[in-house]
Amino acid sequence: QVQLVESGGGLVQPGGSLRLSCVASRKIFSTNVMGWYRRAPGKQRELVATITSGDSTNYADSVKGRFTISRDNAQNTVYLQMNSLKPEDTAVYYCNVNYLLGTFWGQGTQVTVSS
């Protein structure tokens, strides 16, 4: 079993920034695909960003140019830097990590963008 713990969520005004972190209890290697997803109220969970082997990244169109996913394998951590936040970014954000033994999810961290 792998535990993922997210942190960094909170309340921020439109145009503000937040940095989410997700620490895994199991060693992360550069070959592990890692990602951030979100679920807004009344909506299905959607992909935000992924980072794959070789640090190749992929983003949802709605966050391109504003969000950046990165990883620190030595710290078993994946990050999501969120800039120029909008009210529509309000959601619970989840990280996931794909291992050979399965895919694991964190419990989520709430991000609220409001004035």
Q: What percent of the chain has pLDDT over 70?
A: 100
pLDDT in tens, 14-60: 999 999 999 999 988 888 899 999 999 999 999 999 999 888 999 99
Q: What is the pLDDT of residue 33?
A: 94
Rounded to whole angstroms, the Cα distance separating 38 from 41 reads 10
Q: Phi and psi (nearest 5°) for 79?
A: -120, 160
48-53: long-range contacts, CB 8 A cutoff, minimum separation 24: 48/80, 48/93, 49/80, 51/78
Q: What is the pLDDT of residue 96?
A: 95
Residue 80 pLDDT > 90, yes or no? Answer: yes
The two three-digit tokens of residue 19, written as one number: 């940095």
